[in-house]
């Protein structure tokens, strides 16, 4: 197999006899068998049941304003969306749909990478170009359009999300962000032209970790999950072996501010670990990994993949890729995978 072609590993596949050894982590044979012990809290499910019930109790109105003309698009319709997230606070999203198609369409709910927001709709045209609807969800405090009001004045930050509120699961930043992401799935049925029975959750890096969280928390409302080079998985291993990126925020925090709170810190993170969400997710899953990724070491990705509860799970391996993964080669792989599972638009 050409190294320019991704290797696909399913739960029952065999690895190639000759595989490149990555610079940053194990080789493929070791990764395929990497199944670390789970440290899931006893009250994990109750914590998230209570968290989501509280968020939903606030209610709130979903708003969608057609803004296509502002961006000069001729083949795509764009709505500027606001929906209620954590504490009922408004979360921004873009809804993109092929123009002239009434639907209901399968929808790819997309979550964003670390320190990135939803950006502009012109940055997200692939899925509408091939006939899907896409809901691009802003990240509170990271994007320009969704402030993290819990932190006070709603100012956007560039870094530091990994340790914000890490003193307890109740205060931790990712409790709020992951709740927003589940609420995005909740509101699909209230948005125009979408099929609530064909929801695909997806994202890269932080977005991949968020997609895994939603797949574990939203249950059978998710028809498929596509986490690319997912972050937020196997935190301790990420902190110990990453060479760059947000896991280093944990290292600095524990080195300088909390040397005697290592165990309590990782006990908080256990409520937000993609490995634990993966154990509760059953939708068909298409992961991807870059074997030379210094930001999300392959072991952290395979920890979630090998713990994934669903029987239909596939790994796309980019042997010489860093954290960029398959770049522009990855969306066609995803499209083919979705079509094989009957999750394609009826145009």
Going along the chain from its start, the domains and CATH numbers come out as: 7-11+23-338 (3.40.50.1820)
Structure tokens at 298: 């392959």
pLDDT tens-digit series, residues 85-113: 999 999 999 999 999 998 799 999 999 99
The H-or-E segment that residue 201 falls in is strand 194-204
- Whether the per-residue pLDDT at 125 is higher than 70: the answer is yes
Q: What is the pLDDT of residue 16?
A: 36
d(CA 12, CA 123) in angstroms, rounded, equals 36
Rounded Cα distance, 81 and 201, in Å: 17
| Closest residue by Cα to residue 185 from 170, 172, 195, 174 | 195
CB 159 within 8 A of CB 115: yes
Global confidence as pTM = 0.93
* Of 308, 121, 298, nearest in space to 225 by CA: 308
Tokens of 81: 């969306």
Q: Convert 95-134 to b/e letters by CB count within 10 Å (16 or more is b).
A: bbbbeebeebbbbbbbbbbbbebbeebeebebbbebbbbb
Any residues with CB less than 8 A from the CB of 264 and at least 6 apart, and which? none
pLDDT score at 17: 37
What average pLDDT does range 173-201 have in this prediction?
Answer: 97
- Residues annotated as catalytic (active site), given as ranges: 205, 293, 323
Confidence bin at 7 (pLDDT 50/70/90): low
Q: Is the pLDDT of residue 219 over 60?
A: yes
d(CA 332, CA 143): 27
């Amino acid at each position: 197999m050409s190294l320019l072609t991704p290797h696909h590993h399913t739960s029952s596949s065999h690895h190639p006899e000759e595989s490149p050894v990555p610079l940053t982590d194990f080789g493929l044979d070791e990764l395929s068998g990497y199944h670390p012990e789970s440290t899931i809290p006893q009250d994990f499910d109750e914590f998230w049941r209570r968290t989501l019930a509280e968020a939903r109790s606030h209610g709130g109105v979903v708003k969608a304003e057609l803004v296509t003309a502002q961006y000069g698009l001729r083949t795509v319709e764009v709505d500027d969306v606001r929906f209620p997230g954590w504490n009922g606070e408004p979360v921004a999203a873009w809804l993109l749909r092929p123009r002239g198609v009434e639907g209901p369409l399968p929808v790819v709910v997309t979550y964003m990478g670390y320190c990135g927001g939803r950006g502009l709709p012109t940055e997200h045209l692939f899925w509408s170009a091939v006939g899907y609807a896409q809901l691009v969800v802003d990240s509170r405090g990271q994007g320009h359009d969704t402030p993290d009001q819990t932190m006070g004045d709603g100012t956007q930050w560039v870094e530091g999300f990994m340790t914000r509120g890490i003193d307890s699961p109740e205060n931790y930043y990712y409790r709020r962000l992951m709740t927003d992401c589940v609420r995005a799935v909740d509101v699909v049925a209230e948005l125009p032209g979408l099929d609530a029975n064909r929801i695909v959750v997806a994202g890269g890096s932080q977005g991949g970790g968020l997609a895994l969280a939603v797949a574990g928390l939203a249950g059978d409302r998710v028809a498929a999950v596509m986490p690319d080079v997912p972050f937020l998985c196997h935190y301790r291993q990420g902190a110990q072996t990453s060479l760059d990126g947000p896991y280093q925020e944990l290292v600095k925090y524990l080195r300088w501010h909390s040397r005697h709170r290592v165990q309590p810190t990782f006990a908080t993170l256990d409520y937000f670990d993609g490995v634990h969400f993966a154990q509760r997710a059953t939708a068909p899953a298409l992961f991807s990994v870059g074997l030379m990724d210094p930001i999300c070491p392959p072991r952290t990705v395979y920890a979630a993949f090998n713990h994934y509860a669903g029987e239909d799970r596939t790994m796309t391996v980019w042997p010489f890729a860093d954290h960029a993964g398959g770049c522009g080669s990855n969306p066609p792989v995803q499209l083919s995978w979705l079509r094989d599972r009957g999750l394609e638009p009826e145009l």
